Structures are given as C-alpha cells and as structure tokens.
Amino acid sequence: MSEVLQNSISSRDGQTFVFDTFDKVKTVFESQIANRQNVKNRSAEERKDKLNLLNNEILKHRTEIEEALFKDLKKHSIEAGYSEIFPTLSEIRNISRNLRRWMRSNPVKNSLPFIGSKSKILLEPKGNCLIITPWNYPFYLSMTHLAVCIASGNVAILKTSEYSPNVSKVIKEILSGVFEEDEVAVIFTGAEVSTEMPKLPFDHIHFTGSTNVGKQIMKNASTNLTSVTLELGGKSPVIIDENYPIKDCIKQIGWGKFLNAGQTCIAPDYILVHKDKKDEFVDKLSTYLKDSFGEKSTDSEFLTGIVNKSHFKRIENLVQDAVSDGNQIVFGGKMDKSRLAFGPTLLMMNSSAAIMEEEIFGPVLPIVLYNDVEDAIKFITKKHKPLAMYLFSNDKKWLNEVLLNTSSGGVCINDTMAHFVQTYLPMGGVNHSGIGKSHGYFGFKEFSNERAVLKSYIKGGITWPFQFPYTKLKKNILEILIKYF
C-alpha cells in the first residue's frame, strides 16, 4: 500500500518516491507563462504532430504502463488494457482526426438589425492550465484530459496522484519524450503542495476527484476567478424495471460495479430492484460473481486491490456500520487486509445507514427494494444529482418517466459504463457531481475561450441608429425595432 511521509511516499511495492516542492511548481509555472503565447499560435498540424508523438510514446511504453498499474493497484493487464490504455489511445486519435475542424471559426447567423456585418465564434486557448488527476484510473484520466488540453493550444501542469506513484513515473517518462517542461510538466507531490497549487493564477483548472476536495479547489481558484472543470462523483443508481429479465442485466451490473474493485466515479453505487425480484437478482448476481472471482474472491487475479489502508478501513467501517444497523450481507464480505483485497460484497438494505449517504468507491453493492417506479424515483431524487444513472428496461413509457423526473450527468440504458468511453458524448456531472464537460469536442471547448467576433462593413458602423445625437429618425427606427424585432 502507498504510505505518505513528509516529503515522499512509500509505494505498495516498497519503493520511495520523493515529492516535488512548491518552489519547483512556481518555477515551472513561470516558464509556462512565458511560453504560452508560442504554444497558443501553433497550427493544427503542429498540434497533431504532438498528439501523434504522444500516441507513439504510449505504445512504446505499453508494458511499463501495465506493470505500473499492477504495482500501484494490482490491476490485471487485460483490465489495464481496456480501461486505461485503449480508451486513452482512442481519445487521442479521435482528437487528432477532428482537430482541424474543431479549430475553425464558427460563423453565426445575423438577424435583420445586423445586416452589414459578419459574426463568428473563435475557440482560442485559455492559456496555462492545471490538471489534477486521481489514483483510480491514473493513466487514462491523466492522459486524456492532457491530450485535449494541449490540442486546444494550452500549456499545462499535470498534477498526478501520490497514491499511484509508479504510474506517475511512467507518465513523466512518456511526456518527457514529447514535451519540454515549459509546454507540459508533471508534478508529483502530496496534499500540502497540492492545496497551494490552485491558488496560483492559472487560466483554467481541471480537477477529477471527490466532491469535498472539488469544493476546496473551487474556493482556492476563486481567488483569481480561475475557471474550473470539476469531474466529481456521487451515488450513481441502477434501476431495474420490474418487467426486465434479470438474467439480461447481471453481467453488465456485475462488471460495471466490480471493475477496478468499485473504485470508479461512475460505478453503480447502489441498485433499486423490485421487491418481487429480490431473490432472483441476489441468486443470479451471486452466481456470476462466484464464476468470475472464484469461491475465495480475495485470491482472484481479476480483483483489483484497494488503493491504501485508510481507504480499505473506510469501506470496512461502512459495511460494519450497515450490518450493525440491521442490514444484511447476502454475498461476499471476504477481506484480506494484508493484501488490501476486498471481495465483491452484496448488502441487502433493510434500514438507513451511512453507506447510503456517501459515495462507496469500493466493491460493495447495496440492494434497495422498491414497490413501483414512482417509489424508485422518489428514493433517487432525495439525494444529490448523480454523475451517472443506469436503467434496465425496454419499456419506452417507463424510461421516459424516469428520465423526465430525475437528473444526472449521464444515463446508460441496458448497460453500464459504456457511455463513459463514447467519445462523442459529453462526460460530466450536475451540481454536486460536477461542473463542466469532458470528452472530444466537449473537452476541447472546456479548455477554450469562446471568443465572440463581429465585423461591421458599413461606414460609421451598424450601430449608427443608436449613436449621438438622438434624432426623430432614430426614434422611429427604435420604434420599428421594438415592434418587429
């Protein structure tokens, strides 16, 4: 497990990684300020060249990436491939294919009063950006946000998580083969320096992590009125329609929840099952989990580890608290503290508990029974708007009722997680689950300033009817505008 010391961290594989200092941060920040105009002026081809180099460096370091993910999180190489490496490369290639089109100015229509002028929107780089990424998908979340940031023409400081030090080291090696530090720099540091970084006058800050830390980031950024993107989390629910076959949703739910040991911001956090389907659901999901992870799940090579002791203890306490409040473990509950292995666990909820008030971020799935769809909707809407919502139904009326009466960052129907890697969909939350959007063109816009440009072709300007002195003619024009436009 990773253990934070004063100026360094000891990783779960026994290595010590020294933190960068705040003086280093300030030095890099100043160098990027001096260079941001040069980077801003790069053509589409120059930006694409950087993306292609990044793509090639990732491929070159594929083995090292997989090894680092195993060292930090005990993540299986296949899981590392489809949850970290493949979607990263896919995102970079999509950005590169579309970049020239995204960079073009967008002409806008003129209404009659603006005849004699042309208007357009320019997407210009925001400037110097800070990207703060978490430990749960340390490669994917770092590289994809960085890729769209540099494609937008920005310079960037990438602050990687201290809890994934081996991955941070590989990321630094990859980026050093593509960028100078006055373009892109990786900062590896602890909480003390991380807290100070958002107080610097960045042009934009992109943060992925918990809601509580996101609030602090936003507060610190407000000192300089820096714009922020906050990709947070929350309690993402699953609802299974009473009439949907249980057998047709088990694999999607079992995979989506227990991928990365549930340490995913859009993982199903709890599930609403109709009261008449309770036994069938528990039986079929339990069978799937046994088949996937074996009788002793904590020994399974497919089970990703919990990131550190404190996170393990937090999940354990949530389960113990729930059981002491009268809720029941109906599957799993196995733990190996020495290896930070927490087996898939199903928890039947019979009463309220702390586990239903905060994001679990672990391999525990609470099951809540409902009577009808109105009951399920009422349960969901009592909580903050989640980052994701998962609905299993083939009934259009049922789906529309849920969609119209709830709100979430994204919705996935008859599957889990799939919308997250669909690069043509925006990724982001609502209120407590996030601010702003990521992915493809949505991310490009997030790291850009939408600059309004109007050019008048009329001598004296199209504003001549409003200019001094105010005459009877101008009053008549005003009356026409008010009446018809």
- Residue positions annotated with a catalytic role: 231, 265
Under 8 Å between Cβ of 172 and 68: no
206-216 in b/e burial notation, b at 16+ Cβ within 10 A?
Answer: bbbbbbebbee
Give me the torsion for CA of 81, 256, 410, 369, rounded to 10°.
180
Would strands 8-10 and 3-4 be described as parallel, antiparallel, or unpaired?
antiparallel
Q: Please tell me what DSSP assigns to residue 471.
A: -
Instruction: Look up residue 23 and give its two tokens.
Output: 């003086």
Report the alpha-carbon distance of residue 66 to residue 79 in Å, rounded: 9
b/e sequence 450-471, b meaning 16+ C-beta within 10 Å: eeeeeeeeeeeebeebeeeeee
Beta strands in 116-216 (DSSP E): 117-125, 128-132, 155-160, 184-188, 204-208
DSSP state of 470: P
Dihedral pair phi/psi, residue 474, rounded to 5°? -70, -30
Q: Are strands 106-108 and 117-125 parallel, antiparallel or unpaired?
A: antiparallel
Helical residues (DSSP H) of 294-425, grouped into ranges: 309-324, 373-381, 396-405
Q: Give the C-alpha separation, 124 to 41, whole Å.
A: 10
Query: Under DSSP, is residue 210 helix (H, G, I), strand (E, B) or coil?
Result: coil
Tokens 């703060």 sit on residue: 132
Angle between helices 165-176 and 62-73 (to 10 degrees): 160
User: Phi and psi of 271, rounded to 5°?
Assistant: -130, 135
